Amino acid sequence: MQKRRKKKIALQVFELAVLLLLVTLLVSWHGSPLWIWIREWRSGIFVHELETNDRVIALTFDDGPDPVCTPTILDILRQEGVHATFFVEGRMLERYPDIARKELADGHVLGNHTFSHPYLERKSRGEVQNEIGLCDKSLTRILHVKTSLFRPPRGNWNPIITQEARRAGKQIILWSGAVEHQESTTPNQLVDRALRLSHPGAILLLHDGSYGQRVNTVKALPGIIQELKSRGYHFVTIP
């Protein structure tokens, strides 16, 4: 009786495993089989945080260069002796090349954030190639920079995006914490949120462009840096 029960349980486990395997192989999500999503997620192309136990943090800024906010952010970073990573849009680089040149001159790192900041996950393979490629061309032509860093708009991705990023020689840089949030509406709240999100190796997401002027981000930045310094953190770029 006991042996029959064990055999029955073993058979049920086997059947469940087979069912899960079939689901993984056959079920499609947003146009790609589930197993491809899993493969891409585990491929090593994503970076969410730095692999370290040291008290270091990477500040990253998206969507610039912006003619109002970015120069002020650069002034603050220079005054605090901090370097950051800027994920630039190709179209903004074309409009404000001198600001991007200042980013480089100040020792910051630039990454690819597509040319026009579309909903990249809704685009065809050719359109994804074009968005990554055009931004790369702007970086090379205007700044003589080649970057292996890529951040898809809004952090959204699908297997086509990961495959085309890999084809272009990119690492996809996401983040461990987004500082700007709809519930953090004042500079002090942004500082508090940044502190809560901080840990050794954290990659913090901020913005220097898009969706209007980032006034609160600019006002909060000195406090974020000074508070983190007081807690023993140092700031690094990616990579």
Residue numbers annotated as active site: 62, 207
Instruction: Name the burial class of residue 110, with classes exposed (0-12), middle (13-18) and buried (19+) by CB atoms within 10 angstroms of its CB.
Output: buried
d(CA 36, CA 27): 10
